[in-house]
Chains A and B, each alone.
Chain A
Amino acid sequence: MLKDFFQKKRKYATIPSEQAKKDIPEGIMTKCVKCGTIQLSKDLEKNLKVCTSCGYHFKLSARERVALTLDDGRLFEYDHDMVSKDPLQFPFYEEKLIKQMEKSGLNDAVVTGEGTINGYPVVIAVMSYDFFSGSMGSVVGEKITRAIEKATQKKYPLLIFSTSGGARMQESILSLMQMAKTSAALKKFHNEEGLFISMCTDPTLGGVSASFAMLGDINLAEPGAIVGFTGRIVIEQTIRQKLPSNFQTAESTMKHGQLDKVVQRSELRDVLTQIIEIHADKKVSS
């Protein structure tokens, strides 16, 4: 009977037992979002959060990025306590900000400061996708600008890790103007012959890529990182264009002449050191 069939089926449904849940503590295994391989989280951490099977570079938070990049993971942080206001009284913006702070443990989408890489001092800015999709509002624009100004003043190389979905809509025109502000600061930095290494991580889009992220003397990116201006979904929805599967990946963006080099996470510190060393006699005074 049909009815029996359904009842039978229900019998076969497996419900994870409480015991099983206890045996695998949460987070002990991680599934690669790209290839699906399940691996020990511990192994993944050891591999700098790069999939041990396919080499997919997992997103890193700003704190993780700092820990992997700077000597001993030590950062002398600037403007830690700078936070967003709600200048337009935009619907639900304040509530969202509080939620993003709780979720990420950050005060906004970028951490800035100075540290050393193999002994070379640098000014560093690291964006975090886990705060409001790394969107740029007044705080991101101001902190990046202050970091650029610090680097100009101290004559340190400037290193920015970008990741962003674009401008922060809740700050509307003020967000847009952060693109001009950061780019103008970079003009002064370049005039002073400062070295700017821009590192694009997944994803770097919109107002961030169309300002400081594309203005490096050397533009680097992590493997597989999406780097572009208008994201795939918007293009597909707006003009119904079919896009190749590798569209805007770092490898494809480099092929089209927009990036200098795609760098594996494990090699980044070495590559950065080499670049800084080449420019060292001139600018770094450590």
Chain B
Amino acid sequence: MAGELSFEQPLIELQQKINELKQFSQEKDIDFSEEIVRLEERYKKLEENLYKELSASEVMQMARHAMRPTSLAYIHEILDSFIELHGDRLYGDDLAIVGGIGKVNGIPVTVVGHQKGKDTKDNIARNFGMPHPEGFRKALRLMEQANKFGRPIITFIDTPGGYPGGAAEERGQAEAIAKNLMEMAGFRVPIISIVIGEGGSGGALALGVANKVLMLEHSIYSVISPNGAASILWKDANKADEAAEAMKITARDLHELKVIDGIIPEVLGGAHRDVKEQASYMKKEILHHLTELMQQSEEEIIQGRYMKFRNIGEFMFISDEETQQS
């Protein structure tokens, strides 16, 4: 194992114990096989339970894991072929968002996703997956192209949020995000979005106005980072764990709130343990939803997407106590 997280400590300790026992039994030529089998069973059980019952802040650690597979990793696994396309034709090419065209099981698609770096150097080039307006505009250009040619769109969401900087503001960060939301709502082609890690705020939603919104099991989606919420609400960024719980940011929470359409299970221990296997789960889901959506008329695609978002929100009326919810 590599890149262990603090809550995985019990597993690591148990693994060490097993290793020690194995070594000891070899060195001293004493038969501990029964104990070893027992411990390995315990390990398996512990592992299964551990990842099933992660707290929100633990899921957050998984979602932000340094080794978490990125959009490009999944693109290469899921697509038969892929040509990356660059630039927004207006200002530049933002490497925090990648996109291009290719095929999934022979079906032509356009894919767009936030792109975090594989290492520090890559992360700096990709601005840690935080797009500037030109990133969102590149995404929009590619999605409009897909809409023109009638190709379904697949988006991968993985960003802490739009970049908080002066230049991003001056080039119209708000307008760039807003435009994506509005235009995605009108596309006649099916859109499938998968939150693969961190779905941070408007910068995430800018790729997320889809017919089907899915989340990987250990990913998060929130209006503001738990750290940000804690510092604004309680003037204490150290209360991020508390905020993470209160804000309901995990895939399971969002599914219960009916904001997302499904959860894609992760390989035991997290997607980074086996990218190929993880990608195969995702490909299966993508194909399932694609075939279903591709049978719908353009009108049904547009209206279905519209109603999905139209119905989100909880409110009531004080006069007659009429209540509505998503």
Contacts and interface: CB of A to CB of B under 8 A. Distances in A.
B164 A239 contact: yes
Interface in A135-169: 138-139, 141-142, 145, 167, 169
Interface in A154-196: 167, 169, 171-181, 183-188, 190-191
A180 B209 contact: yes
Interface in A219-270: 227-230, 234-235, 238-239, 241, 243, 247-248, 256-258
A172 B310 contact: no
B198 to A, nearest CB: 13
A218 interface: no
A81 interface: yes
* Residue of A141, A230, A238 most packed against chain B (CB within 10 A): A230
A125 B43 CA distance: 59
Contacts of B168: 229-230
Interface stretch (A2-10, A31-39, A50-58, A84-92): A84-92
* Residue of A85, A169, A180, A235 most packed against chain B (CB within 10 A): A180
B247 A184 contact: no
Given A210-B178, A230-B164, A235-B164, A180 B173 contact: no
B313 interface: yes
Given A167-B223, A169-B223, A176 B247 contact: no
Contact of B178 (A178, A211, A227): A211
A109 interface: no
User: Could you tell me the dominant secondary structure of chain A's interface residues?
Assistant: helix
* Residue of B169, B179, B186, B247 most packed against chain A (CB within 10 A): B169
Given A82-B316, A234-B164, A172 B247 contact: yes
A184 B164 contact: no
B185 A84 contact: no
A88 B164 contact: no
Contacts of B170: 256
Band of interface residues on A: 35 or more
A210 B310 contact: no
Given A90-B246, A169-B233, A181 B172 contact: no
B165 A239 contact: yes
Contacts of B257: 87, 173-174
B172 A257 contact: yes
B247 A180 contact: no
Contacts of A181: 309-310, 312-313
Contacts, number: 187
Given A82-B317, A85-B316, A214-B174, A176 B202 contact: yes
B322 to A, nearest CB: 9
Contacts of B169: 228-230, 235, 247-248
Nearest to B223: A176
A63 B35 CA distance: 75
A70 interface: no
A213 interface: yes
A181 B314 CA distance: 13
Contacts of B177: 179, 210-211, 229
A138 B314 contact: yes
A49 B319 CA distance: 34
Interface in B111-151: none
Contacts of B152: none
Given A174-B259, A176-B205, A235-B165, A138 B247 contact: no
A174 B312 contact: yes
A191 B202 CA distance: 24
B175 interface: yes
Contact of B174 (A171, A186, A210): A210
A83 B316 contact: yes
A173 B168 CA distance: 24
Contact of A180 (B162, B181, B318, B326): B181
A116 interface: no
Interface of B: 162, 164-166, 168-175, 177-179, 181-183, 185-186, 201-202, 205, 208-209, 221-224, 228-229, 232-233, 246-249, 254, 257, 259, 305-306, 309-310, 312-319, 323, 325-326
Q: Which 4 A-B pairs have the closest CB atoms?
A: A184-B185, A138-B313, A183-B181, A209-B174
Given A183-B178, A184-B310, A187-B182, 10 more contacts: A81-B319, A82-B316, A167-B223, A172-B247, A176-B205, A180-B205, A185-B310, A214-B179, A215-B179, A228-B173
